[in-house]
Structure 1
C-alpha cells in the first residue's frame, strides 16, 4: 500500500519541471467545467459580433467613398466657377505687382535724374560764383558810378529770428 501512495505522490510532483524550459500545462479537457464552456461560448459570440460590426463599418465606409467619388453637375460648376475666380484674382494680383515694380523703377530713375540736375546746378552756381570778380565790381561802382559807402549813422541793424528769411511789410525808416 505504501507503494501505491508513493506512486500517487510522484504523479503530483512529476508535473513540476525546473529550469528555463518550463512548459505551460494544458488543462485536462475532461475537467472543463460548465463555466469555462459558457465563457468560451460568450467569447465566440463577442468575436462574431465584433466581426459583424467591422463588416458593416467597412460597407458603410465603402459606400461613403463611392458617394464621395461621385460629383454632381452642380458641384462641378461650383468648382469651375471657384477656379475661374481664383485665376482672375491671381491675374489681377500679378498685373498690380507688375505695375508697382514699374512705378518703383520709374521713381528711382526720376530720383537719379533729380540728383544729377542738383549736382549740375551746384557746379554751375560754383562756376558763376568764381567767375564774378567782386573787387572789379566795387572799383567800377565807386569810381565810375559814384557809389559811396554808408556812414555809421546810416546803418540800421535788426535781429533775425530762427527763420531764414524776413517779410518786409513797409519801407525802412530814414533817420
Structure 2
C-alpha cells in the first residue's frame, strides 16, 4: 500500500536492540597471550629505524616550508619590480613624447638652410659602394672613387 503525503506510519514491528556486548566465555590460551606480548614489543633496531624515518620526514617538511616561503617572498619582489618597471616605462614614454613634441623639424631645417647656409648633398657628392664581404665595415683607408672596395679574381 502506498501512502501519499509526508506522514508515514511506523511499522508494526521494531527490531531488537542489543543492550550490552556479548560476553566472552572462553579464557585466552597461554600461546595467544605470549603472541600478544611479542607483538607489543619492538626491537631496538626497529625503534632506531622509526626515529630516523621520523627525523628525515621532519627535515623534508621544514625544507619544503622554507622553500615555499622563499618562493612567496621572491614572487612578491618580482611583482613589486614589475610595477616599478611599468611606472618607469610610463614616465619614460611621457618624457620622450614631451621631448618629441618640443622638437620642430621644419624649424631646424629652416635654421640650417637660412642661418647656417647648409644645403642638401648633390648627386656628385654621394658615393655608393658595394661591400661583398659583410654588413660590418672597418675603414682602414679612404673609399675609392669608383665605389668598389674589393673584387674577387673570378668573374
What's the TM-score once normalised by structure 1's chain length? 0.52
C-alpha distance in 2 between matches for 1:95 and 1:141 = 66
Native 8 Å contact 2:113 2:119 kept in 1: yes
Larger Rg: 1
Q: Deviations over 1:51-84 (max 9, x none)?
A: xxxxxxx875654333121223443333223222
Q: Distance in 1 between matches of 2:88 and 2:32?
A: 77
Pair 1:133-2:91 in alignment: no
Q: Is 1:84 the counterpart of 2:61 in the alignment?
A: no
SS of residue matched to 1:154: coil
CA deviation map 1:7-38 (0-9, x unaligned): xxxxxxxxxxxxxxxxxxxxxxxxxxxxxxxx
1:54-133 matches, cutoff 5 A:
63-133=34-104
Q: Which runs of 4+ in 1 moved over 4 A?
A: 58-62, 156-159, 171-175
Q: How many residues align?
A: 113
Distance change in 2, residues 1:86/1:154 (3 Å): same
Match of 2:138 in 1: 169
> Helix, strand or coil for the counterpart of 1:148?
coil
In the other structure, the counterpart of 1:22 is none
Q: Flag the 1:123–1:107 CA change in 2: closer, same or farther, 3 A.
A: same
